[in-house]
Every structure is written in C-alpha cells, then in structure tokens.
C-alpha cells in the first residue's frame, strides 16, 4: 500500500492515541469498540488504521504490514524490538511493572533465604532478567492473563504484573513488593517504511512528538 497503515490495539491504547492522531490531522471514521471492522478508514484517504491485539502490534510493524504502531514498553521488551525504530515515548498508558505477593508473605525473607520462588507472569523475559540480576532463583510459569489468581490458588508464590492504581492487587489480597520498571507506550516505525515513505511519515512523527506532554 502506498499510504500509511497504523497498528493500534483496542481499549486504552486506541483511546489515548486519539489525541495524538488528531494533532497529526488524522480522525478515524469508526470506533473499533463498536465496529467489528479490523481496518478502519480515516478522514485522510492515505491513512488507515489496523486494529490488532496489543501483543501483535510489534509483529505487524516489524514485517511492514503496518508502517507505524503504538505499543506498551512491556510488550516491546518481550517482543525484543527487532527491525523496529523506536523514536518516541508517547507517555500514554502509563503503569508500573511490579512483583506482587500475597499479603503476609515475607518476600524479603524468602529471597534472603535463597528459596526457589515460583513466579507466574505473562512477562517471562522481563521477569527472568529481573530475578537473574538479583541472583534470585525462580521457576517461571507462563500465564496469559489474570495473574492475580496464581498466588491465591497455590500456582505461584509471586507474580510479575502491571500495576496502575493497585486496586486489583488489593481486591485479591496481594501487595506489590518490588518495582521493576516504569511502563508507557512507544511509537514504533518499520525501518524500511521510514526510508521509503519518509515524506508521508515525517509530518505524522513530528506532530506526535509535538503533542506528547513533556
Ligand atoms: P487484553 O487485555 O486484551 O488481554 P492487553 O492486556 O495486552 O490485552 P491492554 O489491556 O489494552 O491489552 O493493554 C495494552 C497496554 O497498556 C499494555 O501493554 C500496557 O503497556 C498498558 N497497560 C496495561 N494495563 C495498564 C493499566 N492498568 N494502566 C495503564 N496502562 C496499562
Ligand atoms: Mg489488559
């Protein structure tokens, strides 16, 4: 396609990217929450949106099926970022990657004693690197969602998950015991598109950069 394809996921990333798109003069003609369409036209006939699963956005951009995309740093770290130019922290969808344990579990003591911790998470790479850097031995258990359930059922001692307000942890009698990283969403750009479509892409990237809160 000669025009520009932008990969976005439904929900918070779509909602929080809308003002940035508006700053670049781009308005979606449909709302992906109510439409079943996966390709959404915009007010510009040379720009379209593709609605992808959050974890799939880097893949679409890496292979050039989308020219640019918006993706959480968490997803980007797990993906590895191969073939992606990452020019901008958009400072949207902000949250924190944390280690959490059941209220009352003595995490410091378990770590001090060199216990082998069972850790459930969707973020295997992030968790592996975090605990390796601390010299803590862990058995990682891959989950795809509802990590909070793991310690409550005995599947794991701890979880590595995203936390924003902490209310989900609280509702499940968990407490955050360690901060791993601050997370926000990044703009990702296909490296070939950056060269081949520079004329069309540059004004969009510039508008995004100007619209990001400093
Ligand atoms: P799904 O919820 O459909 O399984 P997902 O969790 O990958 O998919 P979202 O919940 O839309 O998708 O999250 C997209 C991105 O938003 C995440 O990759 C992360 O960067 C960020 N995010 C996740 N949870 C929060 C939160 N509670 N507050 C702020 N940002 C968050
Ligand atoms: Mg989610």
Chain-wide mean pLDDT for the chain?
A: 97
**Please, what is the angle between helix 12-23 and helix 198-211, to 10°?**
110
Pocket of ligand 1 contains residue 75 by CB under 6 Å? yes
Mean pLDDT of 46-73: 98
Domain at 95-182, CATH from 2.40.33.10, 3.40.190.10, 3.30.750.24, 3.40.50.1820: 3.40.190.10
Is residue 82 over pLDDT 80? yes
What percentage of the chain reaches a pLDDT higher than 90? Answer: 97
Burial class, 188, CB count within 10 angstroms (exposed 0-12 / middle 13-18 / buried 19+): buried
CA gap 54, 11 in Å, rounded: 9
Q: Which ligand is nearest to the CA of 71?
A: 1
For domain 4-93+184-211, give its CATH number from 3.30.300.210, 1.10.600.10, 3.40.50.880, 3.40.190.10. 3.40.190.10
3-state secondary structure of 44: coil
Where do the domains of the chain lie?
4-93+184-211, 95-182
Residue 54 CA to ligand 1 center (angstroms) comes to: 7
Per-residue pLDDT tens over the stretch 147-190: 999 999 999 999 999 999 999 999 999 999 999 999 999 999 99
Nearest CA to ligand 1 atom 19: 72
The two domains 4-93+184-211 and 95-182 share their CATH topology (first three levels equal): yes
Among 9, 10, 89, which residue has the most ligand 1 atoms within 8 Å of its CB, making it the best to mutate? 9
Full-model pTM: 0.95
The span from the CA of 36 to the CA of 147, in Å, is 28
Q: Is 193 in the pocket of ligand 1 (CB under 6 A)?
A: no
The pLDDT, as a whole number, for residue 1 is: 66
Q: Where are the alpha helices (DSSP H) in 9-56?
A: 12-23
């Amino acid at each position: 396609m000669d025009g520009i394809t932008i990969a976005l996921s439904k929900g918070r990333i779509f909602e929080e990217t809308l003002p940035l798109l508006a700053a670049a003069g781009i308005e979606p003609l449909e709302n992906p929450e109510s439409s079943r369409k996966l390709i959404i036209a915009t007010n510009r006939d040379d720009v379209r949106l593709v609605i992808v699963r959050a974890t799939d956005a880097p893949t679409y951009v890496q292979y050039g099926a989308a020219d640019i995309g918006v993706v959480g740093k968490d997803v980007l770290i797990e993906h590895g970022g191969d073939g992606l130019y990452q020019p901008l922290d958009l400072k949207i969808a902000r949250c924190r990657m944390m280690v959490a344990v059941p209220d009352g579990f003595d995490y410091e003591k378990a770590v001090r004693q060199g216990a082998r911790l069972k850790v459930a998470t969707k973020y295997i790479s992030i968790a592996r690197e975090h605990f390796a850097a601390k010299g803590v031995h862990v058995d990682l258990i891959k989950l795809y969602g509802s990590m909070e359930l793991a310690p409550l059922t005995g599947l794991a001692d701890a979880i590595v998950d995203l936390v924003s307000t902490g209310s989900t942890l609280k509702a499940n009698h968990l407490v955050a015991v360690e901060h791993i990283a601050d997370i926000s969403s990044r703009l990702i750009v296909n490296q070939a598109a950056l060269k081949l479509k520079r004329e069309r892409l540059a004004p969009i990237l510039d508008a995004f950069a100007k619209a990001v809160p400093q």
